[in-house]
Amino acid sequence: MSKVVKFGGSSLADAKQFMKVAEIIRADENRRYVVPSAPGKRFAKDTKVTDMLYACYDLAEQGGEYKEALKAIKERYQEIIDGLGLKLSLKEEFEVIDENFAKKAGRDYAASRGEYLNGIVLAAYLGFEFIDAADVIFFSDKDGTWDGEKTRQVLSRRLKGCKNAVIPGFYGSLPGGKIKTFSRGGSDITGSIVAQAAGVDVYENWTDVSGFLIADPRIIDNPRKIEVITYRELRELSYMGATVLHEDAIFPVRQEGIPINIRNTNAPDDEGTWIVGSTGQKSKYVITGIAGKKGFCSVSVEKDMMNSEIGFGRKVLSAFEEQGISFEHMPSGIDTLTVFVHQDEFIDKEQKVVAGIHRNVRPDTIEIESDLALIAVVGRGMKSTRGTAGRIFSALAHSNVNVKMIDQGSSELNIIIGVDNKDFETAIRAIYDIFVLTAI
């Protein structure tokens, strides 16, 4: 049995947090490979080291005075080092960083130093080997995407003879050696990549919550936790705005069938949430989770006999494509087709899209509605339960929410509901109540 453990920024924000992390790692010798983020916020109004680095580098790039900002970053690490009682000096590291900032080595390089330095500190504290992610995680110079093949080869070879190691998250290198980062929150991806390359049994992702919640706690008081969720369910929920884990972190481990366990550094005895490929385990409730987003427009196109006109859908969508607008969702009826788009992307191009649809399909009518929200109700349990859509309808009717659209995906894994922005919270509460609070 072996595990990769990734710790987020809040888990490594200061020396006290570092001590909790070390205790967690030492409590289980299977926790062999450790992926740290950069130090996060110590309190609500604090600044993450990654953001400090971006700001500092921007100053350097504009030829401004950045030394003070760099000093403040150095102090954050020094505080951790002193708090842990370590005899470690980052003096040379900071000299190199200073030189590279002056040479304008790039924003990605700058941001990556947060994880790099935290990795050095954590490795020293744990007595583990430090492996620079630039030597084992690679991006392709063609399109800048992650080079899975090369990474797997080099990283698995590197980890083979290595019992314990710290590999900083968030970055890797391009073929010439230039540093490149993943998008924000990308240490989750590194954890998944290391788990895949090492072929471990579990990828533990330690953060500051005890797993995924069934619904957003800003809308529902004390929502219950999701115990087990499948990769597919999670994908549906995160696409709709639920965040705990970086979306792209799912893919590397999913290929190997390695489960992810989301855990809480501040409550290490909590079981957290398990993310798995498939499970025979019934979910506790019919639904696994609810998520949603506000700020959509719907464009409904109606035309008699539309369903027998070959290429109708494609022609409507090409009017959006021509304006560079991606669509979010597209339910259709017999003679109508509705396209949901992000309002802020759409608004400026509205008339051009409408003209394009007229040109492409000569519709009878086009109706546009704005200020809409989409809610996804997701759950593997829906497949074997009758009447889920009906229950949603009646719960929403009872709460006086007008349902603009309801669409059940063919996988029976999700139901998407469109409501007015103003009804968004009420609708989520109504759905949560009926499926979770009053579940039988």
Site string for ligand ASP, 34-73 (x = CB under 6 A): ---xx---------x-x-----------------------
Quick one: which segment of 84-92, 185-193, 310-318, 422-430 binds ligand ASP (CB under 6 A)? Answer: 185-193
Counting contacts by CB under 6 A, is residue 128 touching ligand ASP?
no
User: Where would I find the H helices in 322-423?
Assistant: 343-346, 350-361, 388-398
Site membership for ligand ASP, residue 356 (CB under 6 A): no
Of 187 and 298, which has the nearer Cβ to ligand ASP?
Answer: 187
- What SS3 class is residue 407? strand
Which residue in the set 114, 252, 292, 363 belongs to the binding site for ligand ASP (CB under 6 A)?
114
Burial group, residue 62, by CB count within 10 angstroms (0-12, 13-18, 19+) = exposed
Three-state secondary structure call for residue 91 = helix
In angstroms, the CA 137 to CA 179 distance is 10
CB of 20 to ligand ASP, least distance (A): 17
Q: What is the DSSP string of 326-348?
A: -EEE--B-SSEEEEEEEHHHHGG
Task: Give yes or no for residue 119 binding ligand ASP (CB under 6 A).
Answer: no
* Contact yes or no for 126/22 (Cβ under 8 A): yes
Pairing verdict, β 365-378 and 414-420:
antiparallel
Q: Provide the β-strand partners of residue 301.
A: 337, 366
Determine the interface stretch with ligand ASP among 100-108, 183-191, 197-205, 263-271 (rule: CB under 6 A): 183-191
With 0-12 / 13-18 / 19 or more C-beta atoms within 10 angstroms meaning exposed / middle / buried, residue 355 is exposed
Tokens 């967690």 found at: 24
Binding residue for ligand ASP, selected from 168, 169, 259, 356, defined by CB under 6 A: 169
- How far apart are alpha carbons 265 and 34 in whole angstroms? 14
Q: How far is the CB of 53 from ligand ASP (least distance, A)?
A: 9
Residue type, 291: A
Dihedrals φ, ψ of 73, to 5°?
A: -70, -45
Q: Which stretch binds ligand ASP (CB under 6 A): 83-91, 140-148, 180-188, 405-413?
A: 180-188
**Minimum separation from the CB atom of position 262 to ligand ASP (A):** 14
9: contact with ligand ASP by CB under 6 A: yes
Using the rule CB under 6 A, is 191 a contact of ligand ASP? no
184 binds ligand ASP (CB under 6 A): yes
Is the distance from CB of 167 to CB of 133 less than 8 angstroms?
A: yes
Site membership for ligand ASP, residue 259 (CB under 6 A): no
Alpha-carbon span 398 to 430, nearest angstrom: 8
Exactly one of 10, 17, 151, 187 binds ligand ASP (CB under 6 A); which one? 187
CB of 171 to ligand ASP, least distance (A): 9
Sole window of 21-29, 70-78, 178-186, 248-256 interacting with ligand ASP (rule: CB under 6 A): 178-186
- 13 CB neighbour count, 10 Å cutoff: 23
Amino acid at 95: E
Is residue 180 a contact residue for ligand ASP (CB under 6 A)?
A: no
Smallest distance from ligand ASP to CB 245, Å: 10
> What are the residues binding ligand ASP (CB under 6 A)?
9, 37-38, 48, 50, 114, 169-170, 184-188
